Structure 1
Amino acid sequence: MGEDGIRRSSDTHAPSPVEEIEETFVEEDHHDEEMPRVVITRRRLIASVVFVAAVLAFLYFVLPEISGMKETWDRVADGDHAWLAAALAFEILSMASYVALFHGIHIPPGSRISLRDSYLMTMASLAATRLFAAGGAGGVALTAWALRRAGLPRREVAERMIAFLVLLYGVYVIAMIVCGIGLRTGIFNGPAPFGLTVLPAIVGVVAVCLFVPLAFVPEDFPERIERMAPRRPRAAKWLRRFALGPASMRGGIRFAFYKVTHPDRAMFGVATWWIFNVAILWASFHAFGEAPPLAVIVQGYFVGMLGNLLPLPGGIGGVDGGMIGAFVAFGVGGSLAVLAVLAYRLLAFWLPTIPGIIAYLGLRKRVETWRREPAAV
């Protein structure tokens, strides 16, 4: 069965209650939809200034006074330039993997969206992610807007974006489970504190058990609820709320399963994006000292990434503190952990922001071109 068979044929059947609800929250004419922008209110501006000032004050006045941290800052200039150059190369490779994965999942065959357009969307969404917290909601909004303006149907955009997230973070969850259990059982070399090995593995297993069954929810589940509503109105009321999530996610999860069972070249980006990101951190450790075992780097990286869910401006501080704390708990020296994590964040988080802003402007021009061109059939 091809891709078109995996996706729902929503254009050839009467709309379900879920589809009618989705129609309610979308403008009828999506061509008038504005590009997502950051709304700078007085409260947001004051909060951002206070937060940045507090971080800078801590870094420059408090942290150097902590025992051992003054020597840590003195070591920054002594980093091995060869290893830092390797980390930069890994960052370039990781971005290439991400763009290839984005294009392979989001863009259907025959679309007028080119690989260059996918690059613009990817980098622009990264810039938007820096401006929002909660795991990159700004990047998701910008990506959905651009795909819609390119002519993709709303339902297909939603399903492909869900498939992209399922594939990308499926690797994340599996890595936490495998490394956590492997470290705890001694299969992998390195220390194995319970809170950083078994607990994340349990969280990963629970996540898999919650999401995988959604792919098997019947397609006519909303219609079944409506048929039982006259007999059991109270149960139908609660089932309607439950049906919204599975009905919207079912097609995306099934499409992700299809891509796994029918891999193409773009699918290599699912694993290589994470591999190269971990390699950036690995090279950063080598630049300032002796790197911990590879399994420890992988587990500390993925556990620390959970800090991206904290409601901080752009996630700043959450991931940094999470990774540093995880590596210290694994027995890595505090100064080495600080240097390696900050170097990683500089390369993987801040460096792509510059081309991302440029891509954001380029994407606006590209969308204006699509506005004047008829969409491909």
Structure 2
Amino acid sequence: MGRDVQRRADARGSASTAPIATPNGAGPEHDDDEEMPSVTMTRRRVVGSVVFVLAVVAFLYFGLPKIGGVQDTWKRVSDGDHAWLAAALVFEILSMASYVALFHGVHVPPRSRITLRDSYLMTMAGLAATRLFAAGGAGGVAVTAWALRRSGMERREVAERMIAFLILLYGVYVAAMIVCGIGLRTGLFPGPAPFGMTIVPAAIGLLAIALVLPLALVPEDFPARVEAMAPRRPRTAKWLRRLALGPASMRGGIRFAIHKAAHPDRAMVGVATWWIFNVAVLWACFHAFGDAPPMAVIVQAYFVGMLGNLLPLPGGIGGVDGGMIGAFVAFGVSGSLAIVAVLAYRVFAFWLPTVPGVIAYLGLRKRVAGWRREPAAA
């Protein structure tokens, strides 16, 4: 399988940016009228998102500290250790650099016209879109897919590379919940070990692996096989084929992810360092305002709280904050310290990249407009 995957990867690299001829010689197989996903940002949606974000932020930063005796701790925010806050800033910059490196290593085939700067623009623009649209980062996915398509990639390759990226990135997420959850529960790692915060997340992680990995065994001609199940009903066969395209794309993405993991390059270091530096930001924020809990507790509470990203909230605002705070409280961490540390973490991890993300969003539009005026790379 390894040589087969290697040949496919090389084929992707050589063919991804080649122009695809059309019958009338119109050029690459792009939808030239395909616009940036910003068209979905109607005035009503933007206003609603802004009002919602402001309401949630006002509650988190002004209302929540007055609940449960947190007000005294909140008054000490300005007295936080500036050295630890500076360390959190450095960790956040390193985490974003790791993310961009991983993005470039997975999404960009050899000899592509996508440069490292372009990968930075796509990454930060995707973050900006995620801030406005939630559902697990669907806005960022839409912007990234659009930009990759405009660079000359075929739709199937874009899908497979994006799936591979998510498999690699969230494979570490799932593995961390399993290792830390079981490690805390069995006493391998120091710290409290409530069942709901250790074994339950670990079981969810194992279930996710059991559901995703077998898709790598789906036959390459799976859509055709499914379509053949209804030879006398063309409409039914068409719908069956469409349903089978999902597992087929997952198969390609998972196998490509396995290939990248088996043949790592320098960019693959970002798979781990993205999460490591993100957790380090939270760890530094705890030290800035008090004593940090054991590292395994920080890691487990961080990943359990990140499940709040699945809630249909812009950028997970409120869901992630509340999820992390609740997880730390369940581990026995002082509620006042958890609130201040988590909200400080969100300032670095959520709000800090927003401004450069919006700038990158505008820069990506100009870059893609330049691609439309250039011939596709051979």
Asked if these proteins are the same fold (TM beyond 0.5), I'd say yes
Query: SS of 2:264's equivalent?
Result: coil
The offset of 1:98, in angstroms, is 0.5
Distance 1:56-1:160 versus aligned 2 partners, 3 A rule? closer
The offset of 1:231, in angstroms, is 9.5
Q: Given that residues 224 and 241 in structure 2 are in contact (C-alpha distance below 8 angstroms), is that contact kept between their aligned partners in structure 1?
A: no
Q: Scaled by the length of structure 2, what TM-score is found?
A: 0.89
Query: SS of 1:246's equivalent?
Result: helix
1:114 aligns with 2:97: no
The offset of 1:33, in angstroms, is 1.1
Distance 1:323-1:38 versus aligned 2 partners, 3 A rule? farther
Distance 1:371-1:321 versus aligned 2 partners, 3 A rule? same
Distance 1:179-1:165 versus aligned 2 partners, 3 A rule? same
Partners of 1:89 and 1:71 lie apart in 2 by: 28
Query: SS of 2:35's equivalent?
Result: coil
Q: Given that residues 130 and 314 in structure 2 are in contact (C-alpha distance below 8 angstroms), is that contact kept between their aligned partners in structure 1?
A: no
Query: SS of 1:30's equivalent?
Result: coil
Task: List per-residue Cα deviations over 1:148-206 (Å, max 9, x = no partner).
Answer: 11111111111111100000000000100110000011101110111110000010001
Q: 1:314 maps to what in 2?
A: 315
Partners of 2:239 and 2:366 lie apart in 1 by: 45
Q: Scaled by the length of structure 1, what TM-score is found?
A: 0.89
The offset of 1:313, in angstroms, is 2.1
Partners of 2:4 and 2:376 lie apart in 1 by: 23
1:297 aligns with 2:298: yes
Partners of 2:241 and 2:290 lie apart in 1 by: 56
Q: 1:30 maps to what in 2?
A: 31
The offset of 1:46, in angstroms, is 5.7
Partners of 1:266 and 1:61 lie apart in 2 by: 41
Q: Given that residues 215 and 250 in structure 1 are in contact (C-alpha distance below 8 angstroms), is that contact kept between their aligned partners in structure 2?
A: yes
Partners of 1:50 and 1:369 lie apart in 2 by: 35
Partners of 1:130 and 1:115 lie apart in 2 by: 23
Q: 2:7 maps to what in 1?
A: 5
Q: 1:129 maps to what in 2?
A: 130
* AA partner of residue 286 (structure 1): H
Q: How does 1:77-88 map to 2 (within 5 A)?
A: 77-88=78-89
Q: How does 1:223-238 map to 2 (within 5 A)?
A: 223-230=224-231
Which 5+ residue runs of structure 1 have no aligned equivalent?
11-26
Q: How does 1:57-68 map to 2 (within 5 A)?
A: 57-59=58-60, 62-68=63-69
Aligned residues, how many?
A: 361
Partners of 2:58 and 2:228 lie apart in 1 by: 62
Partners of 1:258 and 1:313 lie apart in 2 by: 34
1:153 aligns with 2:148: no
Q: 2:222 maps to what in 1?
A: 221
Task: List per-residue Cα deviations over 1:275-333 (Å, max 9, x = no partner).
Answer: 00000000010000000000000000000000011011221111000000000000000
Query: SS of 2:37's equivalent?
Result: coil
Q: How does 1:248-287 map to 2 (within 5 A)?
A: 248-287=249-288
Distance 1:104-1:79 versus aligned 2 partners, 3 A rule? same
Task: List per-residue Cα deviations over 1:334-353 (Å, max 9, x = no partner).
Answer: 11101110111100111001
The offset of 1:41, in angstroms, is 4.5
* AA partner of residue 73 (structure 2): T
Partners of 2:280 and 2:255 lie apart in 1 by: 31
* AA partner of residue 76 (structure 1): V
Partners of 1:190 and 1:326 lie apart in 2 by: 13
Which 5+ residue runs of structure 2 have no aligned equivalent?
13-27
Q: Given that residues 133 and 315 in structure 1 are in contact (C-alpha distance below 8 angstroms), is that contact kept between their aligned partners in structure 2?
A: yes
Q: Given that residues 95 and 273 in structure 1 are in contact (C-alpha distance below 8 angstroms), is that contact kept between their aligned partners in structure 2?
A: yes
Partners of 1:255 and 1:330 lie apart in 2 by: 38
* AA partner of residue 33 (structure 1): E
The offset of 1:35, in angstroms, is 1.1
Q: Given that residues 7 and 251 in structure 1 are in contact (C-alpha distance below 8 angstroms), is that contact kept between their aligned partners in structure 2?
A: no
Percentage of identical aligned residues: 77
Distance 1:300-1:142 versus aligned 2 partners, 3 A rule? same
Distance 1:65-1:86 versus aligned 2 partners, 3 A rule? closer
The offset of 1:52, in angstroms, is 3.8
Q: RMSD between aligned alpha carbons?
A: 2.5
Q: 2:289 maps to what in 1?
A: 288
